[in-house]
């Protein structure tokens, strides 16, 4: 708790991005800026250099062996050709980040240690949206734990604002080294949406809860929480037939796609709709709990 508070004092929301000398964006297409200049063009050497940079930025301070990094950028190349390509890409990356480096001068960020191990040491000059999402989520959870619902909602909403775009959307989705990172940020996005729905429902802010419910359904079409919020919103709008169809489609999809049975909460909701079709007769509390099913993309 104290560490989170200290981190919060060092960098308030939105303050680091505009002043950082280097900025990297992982949500949407990958982009890296040095001041106002975007780095990297559509050239093979620079593409491989940026691929290494992605790994370094997602694993700051973590040593990676030359063999490990070659597997990322040159998985199918012959050993000698892969090693040569790796050294060319590393040289290109150093020059890309610091074009003013003199021959033989060490990089400010890329450190070689041991026999063929490399790590990236970002300084305060670096900012990435991926790290910002992690930071906002930690602050949201900290505020949530303290019972500060408004502050928690603010930070959770910042998580969803970044993560609404796919993580490295131009990369192949099943690259082995990217899978755990992609799952992590999809998980943070899903958890943030769930808490936003729950908190806004508890505060009686149903329009906000509905907005985040639709966002969660785009991420996870099997979300029981989001489906329930949408159905009860339809009931409040006096559209019980639409609510009934929405519920039956959801029950059919979880049975056919997941082989899952309806929960007791869904069965209760079905009975309410079936026996009391009038909107003012079927209103009731939505499900204020996390989903039984994990987020769809992360299954």
User: What does the pLDDT look like over 138-161, one tens digit per residue?
Assistant: 999 999 999 999 999 999 999 999
In terms of C-beta density within 10 A (0-12 exposed, 13-18 middle, 19 or more buried), how is residue 60 classed? middle
144, two tokens = 């949530």
* CA–CA distance, 123 with 98 (Å, rounded to integer): 14
pLDDT in tens, 67-109: 999 999 999 899 999 999 999 999 999 999 999 998 888 999 9
pLDDT at 41: 59
pLDDT above 70 as % of the chain:
86
273 close to 266: Cβ distance less than 8 angstroms:
no
pLDDT in tens, 189-222: 999 999 999 999 999 998 999 999 999 999 999 9
pLDDT above 90 as % of the chain:
63
* CA–CA distance, 163 with 186 (Å, rounded to integer): 8
* CA–CA distance, 25 with 281 (Å, rounded to integer): 49
Contacts (Cβ under 8 Å, ≥6 apart) of 54: 26, 30, 168
DSSP symbol at 298: G
Question: 117: which strand partners?
Answer: 65, 113
Contacts (Cβ under 8 Å, ≥6 apart) of 108: 97, 98, 123
pLDDT at 45: 64
| Predicted TM-score (pTM) above 0.75 | yes
How large is the average pLDDT for residues 170-191?
90
């Amino acid at each position: 708790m104290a560490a989170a508070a200290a981190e919060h004092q060092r960098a308030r929301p939105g303050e680091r991005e505009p002043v950082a000398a280097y900025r990297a964006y992982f949500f949407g297409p990958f982009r890296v800026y040095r001041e106002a200049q975007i780095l990297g063009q559509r050239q093979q050497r620079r593409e491989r250099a940026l691929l290494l940079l992605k790994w370094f930025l997602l694993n700051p301070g973590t040593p990676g062996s030359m063999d490990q990094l070659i597997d990322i950028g040159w998985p199918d190349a012959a050993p000698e050709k892969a090693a040569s390509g790796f050294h060319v890409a590393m040289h290109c990356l150093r020059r890309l980040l610091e074009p003013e480096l003199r021959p033989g001068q060490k990089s400010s960020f890329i450190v070689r240690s041991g026999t063929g191990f490399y790590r990236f040491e970002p300084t305060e000059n670096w900012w990435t949206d991926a790290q910002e999402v992690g930071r906002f989520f930690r602050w949201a959870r900290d505020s949530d734990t303290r019972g500060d619902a408004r502050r928690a909602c603010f930070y959770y909403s910042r998580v969803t604002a970044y993560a609404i775009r796919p993580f490295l959307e131009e990369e192949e989705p099943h690259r082995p080294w990217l899978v755990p990172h992609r799952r992590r940020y999809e998980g943070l996005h899903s958890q943030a949406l769930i808490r936003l729905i729950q908190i806004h429902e508890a505060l009686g802010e149903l329009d906000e809860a509905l907005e985040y419910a639709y966002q969660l359904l785009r991420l996870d079409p099997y979300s029981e929480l989001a489906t329930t919020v949408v159905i009860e919103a339809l009931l409040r709008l006096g559209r019980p037939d639409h609510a009934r169809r929405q519920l039956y489609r959801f029950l059919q999809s979880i049975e056919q796609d997941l082989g899952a049975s309806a929960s007791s909460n869904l069965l209760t909701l079905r009975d309410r709709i079936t026996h009391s079709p009038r909107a003012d007769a079927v209103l009731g509390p939505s499900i204020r709990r996390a989903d039984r099913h994990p987020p769809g993309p992360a299954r």
